[in-house]
Amino acid sequence: MSRRQRITTAVVLAPLPILAVLFLPTPWLAAIVALVLLAGLWEWTHFAGVHERLPRAAFLTANALLMAALVWGGGPSLFTLKLMSMVGVLWWAVVCLWLARPAFGKADTAANRSLKLLAGSLGIIPAWCALGWLHSEDPYGARWTLFALLIVWAADSGAYFAGSRWGKRKLAPTISPGKSWEGVYGGLATSALLAIPAVPVLGLAWSQLPALWLVTLAVAAISVVGDLFESLMKRHSGVKDSGDLFPGHGGLMDRLDSILAALPVFVVGKAWLGL
């Protein structure tokens, strides 16, 4: 993909999620995001080795029903959403172990297909729950949600440009040869800079900046894990991109992978540090 194509697509698409996050009520935003995530999960079923339409549709239906059940059972305290967000944090810790053994689950067996379908659900559902929890918080829920997304975008953009300019040491050559440690450092630095102007916008005191930096860097780091995990699934299935919906960016899952990992870590970290 060319740098110009990548930038043009990002500039055209960026206003849509920003406006949705800032101006839509949480139920409407959650409904739209659920449809987007389920569409991404449709792509994921291809990674898992499930290609027939009927089982793919049944899998999506089951995930949609689970989402509805989680909202219905959450109550005013959002207990189920918070619980699933914490499950998401644990899941992405497990993914780190999976990435250390990239050959695990590669064989096209029924057990591995089931495992990868489960992995798709554990990526999609906790992220959706985290979004609902974060966005519903008053009075700055929408701003916090946008900040979480901006961290991912800043980390991705910083990594892309730093890696293109200085990248020499490969991060995970067997999974994603194009990624470098220099790119990771560029992404972390860009995200850390973003946290500084965010302090007053998020209604924080300047004394809380170190805690915000901690959450920001953790989210920027785990977003790389989300990206690598999708790359690993694509390698297992022998595809380059999850789709061709976005010129220069691939399919939906190519845009969602980092966000899926980032949202649970962000909202749980935010709550843990009292931000």
Cβ distance 243 to 43 under 8 Å?
yes
88-132: pLDDT as tens digits? 999 999 999 999 999 999 998 999 999 999 999 999 999 999 999
DSSP element (H, E) containing 170: strand 170-172
The pLDDT of residue 255 is 85
pLDDT of residue 254: 84
* Structure confidence at residue 72 (pLDDT): 86
Residue 77: predicted pLDDT? 80
Per-position pLDDT tens, the chain of length 275: 445 555 555 566 678 889 999 999 999 999 999 999 999 999 999 888 888 999 999 999 999 999 999 988 877 788 999 999 999 999 999 999 999 999 999 998 999 999 999 999 999 999 999 999 999 988 999 999 999 999 999 999 999 999 888 988 999 999 998 899 999 999 999 999 999 999 999 999 999 999 999 999 999 999 999 999 999 999 998 876 555 554 444 578 888 999 999 999 999 999 999 99
pLDDT of the residue at 4: 56
How far is it, in rounded angstroms, from Cα 203 to Cα 215? 16
Residue type present at position 266: F
Residues 180, 156: contact at Cβ < 8 Å? no
pLDDT of residue 12: 60
Structure-token match 């299935």, residue found: 237
The confidence score (pLDDT) of residue 247 equals 47
For 214, the 3-state DSSP assignment is helix
Q: Where are the domains of the chain?
A: 3-272
Cα–Cα–Cα angle for 215, 77, 31, rounded to 5 degrees = 80
Which pLDDT belongs to residue 8?
56
